[in-house]
Chain A
Amino acid sequence: MVLPPTAMLVVTLLTLPLATATLLFASGRQPRTLTLAAALLSTCAALALGLNVHLEGVSVHAIGGWEAPLGIHWQVTVPGAVMLLATAMVGLAGAVYGAGYFVHRPGPEGRMARVFMPLWLFAWGGLNALFVAADLFNLYVALEVLTLASVALVALSARRTALQAAMRYLLAALFGSVIYLLGVALLYGQYGILDLDGLTSKLDPKHPGSRAGAVALTIGLLTKAAIFPLHFWLPGAHGRAEPPVSALLSGLVVAAAFYLLLRLWFGPLAGLLTFGVGTLFGAIGAGALLWGGVLALMQRRLKMMVAYSTVSQFGFAMLVFPLALAADREPVVTGGTLLLANHALAKAALFLAAGSLVRASGSDRIDRLVGFTGSSRWAWIAVILAAAALIGVPPTLGFSAKWLLLQVAVAEGAWWWLGAMLGGTLLTFAYLGRLLERALLAPAPAPHPPKLKIALLLPALLLALLACVMGLWAFDVETFARLEPGP
């Protein structure tokens, strides 16, 4: 089989969603077949790209033929390709789910359906642009595309609570952007270049300019990734948005900011990752694990619980930094990337399934959810599978990721971080177990739960299954060895 060259695939991945979204907006109509075809095509491009990277390795493309310090590069790294794949899966699943979830009708009732798809595609394009970008300022613009699309998606229902959450999210994200841009300015003033590779070779960890720049970039990205003390905006935004939107936001938008953190700290800023910095990140992560986990345990509403779970899970991801203090960073970066991918798939599945359950139950209180009956059964199966992946039950992708990190922790003798990881896993088990127990063992009486459309069940099920099956593939250590970080 002959695959198209990587450059073509990247161009497709970046321009197809944007162009389709623009055309949809211009026409003012939403032909479902066309949007789903575009989503499917993007997914195929991502799959082919992933295969290309697997076969040929990392590749770099100069846009417009202008070489790096002057022009902008796209860089397809292995972690980037993994995230592109996860984006494609969640993007396709969300598009199908959205087609079934929103009411398609002319007039005001159909407003959400009309607006959803263009925004969804813009967000998708923004994510793709972000995962291949290798330039500090280009990353900023891509982040803004993503932010505006996400804010508009949060405000989709136009209810007061949703608008409030969107406003809060917008302010937090813009605050993050300002600080990020300050960091870009400081680094540009120091080195006069913007591309990540050039910075990696030039960066002098001793200079106060690089340190201040690193601090600014990091605070900006921590805000956008909603890492523990700066997570204040997340639960509202993710808990009050419509289900497919929550899936995208929780699974990918937050992960994108975190991915950038990984990209920067294991790329240009690697020289600055000292013991103190790593420990600080680890402490933040441990705090997030605890705080998010405990609050998730206390929630009464299903979607809020899942949203707090995101805060907690990203605490887990923060533990990557102290673990990387050891000589060998490769397995840690791999573990971190797999963790992000697992979270993207499982959390998106969880939110999609939660949306279906809420629709079937007519309430999002955990103690009013329908039980394991009728078509809701399939949603529950998706929830169980996703929960298994989030907790890290053996064959899942979550297990592979955590197992890698555990091995590093044991090898290093980092008992503190080991303890935090185990504690976090236990908390995850506790709140997800509580959900399953409440709903499956003591279900609310629901005489005639409405039958759910297949579009509301299949995407969640497939995503959750994927999170489980990918673990089998990723557990092959040979595969691990190939997942080296970018050049």
Chain B
Amino acid sequence: MHPAEALFDALLLLSMVVLAWQGVHARNMFRAVVSFMMFGLLTAVAWVRLEAPDIALAEAALGAGLTGALLLATLGRLKPERRGARLQRAAKLSMLPWLALGLAGTMTLLAVTLALPAPGLGERVLSAMPEAGVDSPVTAVLLNFRAWDTLLEIAVMLLAVIAIWSLGQDVLASTSRLPAPSLPALVRLLFPLLVLSTFYLLWRGGHGPGGAFPAGALLAAGLVLALLAGARVPERMTGAPLRCALAAGLLAFIIIAVGVMAEGGVFFAYPPRHAPMLIAIVEIAAGLSIGVMLTALFLGGEPTDTQGGST
């Protein structure tokens, strides 16, 4: 490895650590959130350095897009005086023992991890790839070898939407009334691009980095941008259609997982002839559903008819 490369890694990781500290402890809440968002951006670069483009894509789409939007929107919903409570001197002192404990833990952790041999399952995945039904190893692991994990994960996401909706319907934030003439134009340009790239990533997922999660995140980013620009959830879409779109991913997953039992009697065992098609169906359903679910998470409450389909 060339010194410039090592130096790049060192600086990247150092700034990540500094930003992480800022993101947690910055005196001003807004500063903390902005630092955390920057931390997310650099994390995506770190994934690229670790030769994990799949994760980098997901992190870029979620970190640069949705997590930031979610945090900023939350910050806007909190009352301003609660944003930046300054740390008292005593509170700062009481942090010290914890800090010492944390450093000791870090050292132990580091010593342990350096001694790990890290054998991994790479070879096994490679040897099973011909029967996987897709060309991309990560997609094969996600949607075939460990598909049960992914099903539960989609359940977690749907559960998060249900959980937020179950908290009541009273916190839909009002959009700022500042004039923003350029915004609709931007969204009109970006929205089709985002939808296009969603499908591009879904298509790519079969043989390269991409797949349902980054694609869903991009779709959600497009929808959220549209909402921010003042678009409204159409009233006829708010009730059952929206709920069905949210539930579609998990339902499709369950139906296919159980449905393939008709052929071989084994849960989630795609019959080899149909494996590519079934995986593609699961991926598309999951991707679109994830997009809608992420948008719902951003909305932070169930859009209701009584509020005129507010944003």
Question: Do A and B belong to a common assembly?
Answer: yes
Residues of A within 8 A of B (CB): 7, 11, 15, 18-19, 22-23, 25-28, 61-66, 69-72, 111, 115, 118-119, 122, 125-126, 129, 137-138, 141-142, 144-145, 148-149, 151-152, 155-156, 158, 163, 182, 186, 188-193, 207-209, 212
A64-B268, A148-B160 as given contacts; A22 in contact with B121, CB under 8 Å: no
Q: Which residue of A lies closest to B125 (CB)?
A: A70
Which one, B108, B119, B240, B257, contacts A26 given CB within 8 A?
A: B240
A-binding residues in B (CB < 8 A):
108-109, 111-113, 115-121, 124-125, 128, 144-149, 152-153, 155-156, 158-160, 162-163, 165-168, 239-240, 243-244, 246-247, 250-251, 254, 257-258, 261, 264-270
CA of A19 to CA of B243, assembled, Å: 14
Contact residues in B for A212 (Cβ distance below 8 Å): 108-109, 112
**Given the complex, which residues of B lie within 8 Å of A190, measured CB to CB?**
116-118
For the complex, give the distance between the alpha carbons of A364 and B108 in Å: 48
Task: Evaluate contact between B149 and A22: CB separation under 8 angstroms.
Answer: no
In the complex, what distance in Å separates the CA atom of A15 from the CA atom of B128?
A: 27
User: Which residues of chain A are within 8 angstroms of B158 by Cβ–Cβ distance?
Assistant: 22, 25
Measured CB to CB, the nearest residue on chain A to B161 is A25
Across the interface, A66 reaches (CB within 8 A) one of B112, B128, B166, B247, namely: B128
With A and B bound together, what is the CA distance between A163 and B264 in angstroms? 47
**How many A-B contacts if CB must be within 8 Å?**
153
CA separation between A18 and B159, bound complex, in Å?
A: 10
Residue in contact with B156 in the complex, picked from A69, A141, A158, A209, CB distance below 8 Å? A141
Q: Which of the residues B116, B159, B160, B258 comes within 8 Å of A15, measured between beta carbons? A: B258
Chain B residues within an 8 Å CB radius of A141: 149, 152-153, 156
Q: Could you say which residues of chain A place their CB within 8 Å of the CB of B268?
A: 63-64
Q: In the bound complex, what is the Cα–Cα distance between A122 and B156 (angstroms)?
A: 9
Name the residue on B nearest A170 (C-beta): B163
Which A residues lie within 8 Å of B156 (CB)? 141, 144-145, 148
On whether the beta carbons of B240 and A151 are closer than 8 Å, the reply is no
A138–B124 touching, CB < 8 Å? no
Closest Cβ neighbor of B163 among chain A residues: A152
Q: Chain B residues with Cβ under 8 A from A138's Cβ?
A: 146, 148-149, 152
| CA of A26 to CA of B147, assembled, Å | 23
- A125 in contact with B155 given A22-B251, A66-B128, A192-B118 (CB within 8 Å): yes
Q: Are A70 and B121 touching (Cβ within 8 A)?
A: yes
Distance, CA A232 to CA B69, complexed state (A) = 32
Contacts of A19 in B (CB 8 A): 251, 254
* Residues A18 and B269 in contact in the complex (CB < 8 Å), given A70-B145, A119-B162, A152-B162: no
List B contacts of A149 (CB < 8 A). 159, 163
Kindly provide the distance from the CB of B103 to the nearest chain A CB, expressed in whole angstroms.
16
The 5 closest A-B pairs by CB, nearest first: A192-B119, A152-B163, A189-B116, A64-B268, A26-B247
Give the chain B neighbours of A129 by CB distance below 8 A: 152
Please tell me which one of the listed residues A64, A65, A71, A145 contacts residue B159 in the complex, with CB atoms under 8 A apart: A145
Is B266 a contact of A64 with CB atoms below 8 Å? yes
Contact A208 B168, beta carbon cutoff 8 Å: no
Nearest opposing residue in chain A for B150, CB measure: A141
Contact in complex: B118, A28 (CB < 8 Å): no
Query: Given A26-B243, A63-B147, do A18 and B250 touch, yes or no (CB 8 Å)?
Result: yes
User: CB-CB < 8 A to A61: which residues of B?
Assistant: 266-267
* 11 A-B contacts (beta carbon < 8 Å): A15-B258, A23-B247, A26-B251, A27-B240, A63-B148, A63-B268, A71-B146, A126-B155, A138-B148, A158-B168, A192-B121
CA separation between A122 and B268, bound complex, in Å? 20
Query: Which of B112, B155, B244 touches A186 (beta carbons < 8 Å)?
Result: B112
> Please, how many angstroms separate the alpha-carbon atoms of A28 and B118 in the complex?
48
Residue of B nearest to A29 (CB): B240
With contact pairs A63-B148, A141-B156, A208-B111 given, residues A18 and B121 touching in the complex (Cβ less than 8 Å): no
> Known contacts being A63-B267, A152-B162, A192-B121, is A26 close to B261, with CB within 8 Å?
no
Q: List, in ascending order, chain B residues with CB within 8 A of A182's CB.
A: 109
A191 → B minimal CB distance (Å): 7
How far apart sit A64 and B270, CA to CA, in the bound complex (Å)? 7
Interface centre among B111, B152, B250, B270 (most CB of A within 10 A): B152
> Smallest CB–CB gap between A39 and chain B, Å?
18
CA–CA, A193 to B128, complex, Å?
16
Complex interface: chain A residues within 8 A of B159 (CB): 119, 122, 145, 148-149, 152
Q: How far is the CA of A70 from the CA of B124 in the complex (A)?
A: 7
Assess whether B162 is in contact with A118, with CB atoms less than 8 Å apart: yes
Q: B267, A7: Cβ atoms under 8 Å?
A: yes
